[in-house]
Amino acid sequence: MRKQAKPYGTCRLAEGAEVAGRKVLVIEDVVTSGGQIVLSTADLRNLGAQVDGALCVIDRDQGGTEALKRAGISLLSLLTAVDLRAAAAS
């Protein structure tokens, strides 16, 4: 997803396959507040995609999960800040 479509090339917000009518999973490296996923999901939904979930590598445990839940998006994280602190302490 792009924050804004570029005025050249394909001029699309989302590159790749057509998203209209498809179930889409948003993938993010790090989630803090969840704000960018909420914005990207709104754009994808406006393009006709069905977005119910997001996957991230690290959830920083700073409110992102709750913000996404309010937007109708469930978040699956591979690691959390708690996991990383525990690993660093051992």
pLDDT value at 2 more than 60? no
For residue 82, give the H/E element and its range. helix 81-89
Per-residue three-class SS string for 22-53: CEEEEEEEEECCCHHHHHHHHHHHHCCCEEEE
Q: Is the pLDDT of residue 66 over 60?
A: yes
pLDDT at site 11: 65
pLDDT tens digits along 5-55: 656 555 666 667 889 999 999 999 999 999 999 999 999 999 999 999 999
